[in-house]
Amino acid sequence: QVRLVESGGGSVQAGGSLRLSCAVSGSSSVAMAWFRQAPGKKREGVALIHQDGTTTYPDSVKGRFTITKDTTRSTLYLQMNNLKPEDTGTYYCGTDVPSASASSINLRFQNGVFPYLGQGTQVTVSS
């Protein structure tokens, strides 16, 4: 059974930083990702990491967000720097199914629809 538990959210002023963590158990996926959802908006992918360490970011966070994983601690991280008010939302970590191809992973990431998601952690950035 896949279980994902996020932590590290909070309230910061614009320009500040936060590091989110996600404790992972029961997953043997080839890819993990972070998503966010603002009120009234669709969930969007903000950071993806494949099993080989390859990462993908949308332009909106590129250069500010960094996704990493610590396989020894089964933990996924998202370092967020230079935060902006538009980064406000609920952040979720997610994993794909173990048999997923790279193309299907990328498509599901772009559409914010990984099959396994945590309960989310709130990030609020004030101006």
Percent of the chain with pLDDT over 90: 84
Check: CB of residue 52 under 8 Å from CB of residue 32. no
Cβ neighbourhood burial of 113 (10 Å; 0-12, 13-18, 19+): middle
Query: 122, 118, 120, 121: which is closest to 4 by C-alpha?
Result: 118
Mean pLDDT calculated for residue range 77-91: 98
Q: How many CB atoms lie within 10 A of CB 65?
A: 22
Mean pLDDT calculated for residue range 93-117: 92
Check: CB of residue 60 under 8 Å from CB of residue 82. no
Between CA 95 and CA 108 the distance in angstroms is 10
Instruction: Dump pLDDT digits (tens) for 15-55.
Output: 999 999 999 998 777 799 999 999 899 999 999 999 889 99
